[in-house]
Amino acid sequence: MALLTPTKNTRAEDFDLIEDLWEALGSVVIRMPPAEHDEALAVTSHLPHMAAAALAVAVPERYFRLTGSGLLDTTRLAGGDAELWVQILSHNRQHALTALEMYGKQLAALHTALRDGNQNELQSLLAKAKKNRDALGS
């Protein structure tokens, strides 16, 4: 996949050339405005990194030797370069904050269902998560 974000200053012939290049390389080209790109990447890229980072920080060091593949897989993104991610998050700050707020609401819903012993709601949230994850593919 190639995500192209033409602006009003992008010459049509330049865009066509770049689009043709990506398609020749076998990519599916998706075109969207830069602002939509920033919003989408905040949710699909920045949020996973922030979630992985928060999880990696939340695990007490005394449990590091007990970690299995689930924690290792889930926190893999936290291994990214911190300086680079400070720049990325700072550049797309507002969209990253919005994504964190959305994620926080989902964590709060899980927290409430678990705290209240609401197994039906917990089941519903987990089933929706599985459905959404399955829809992403491998």
pLDDT in tens, 55-68: 999 999 999 999 99
Same domain flag for 89 and 37: yes
Q: For residues 85 and 92, give the distance between their C-alpha atoms in angstroms, rounded to a whole number.
A: 10
Does residue 3 share a domain with residue 54? no
Domain that holds residue 63: 33-136
Report which DSSP code applies to 59: S
Chain segment 62-95, per-residue pLDDT in tens: 999 999 999 999 999 999 999 999 999 999 999 9
Count of CB atoms situated within 10 Å of the CB of 95: 20
Same domain, yes or no: 15 and 74: no
Please indicate, yes or no, whether residues 13 and 64 belong to a single structural domain of this protein.
no
Q: Are residues 56 and 81 in the same domain?
A: yes
- Positive or negative: CA dihedral 108, 62, 84, 31: negative
Same domain, 77 and 102: yes
pLDDT tens-digit profile of 6-55?
Answer: 999 999 999 999 999 999 999 999 999 999 999 999 999 999 999 999 99
- The whole-model pTM stands at 0.89
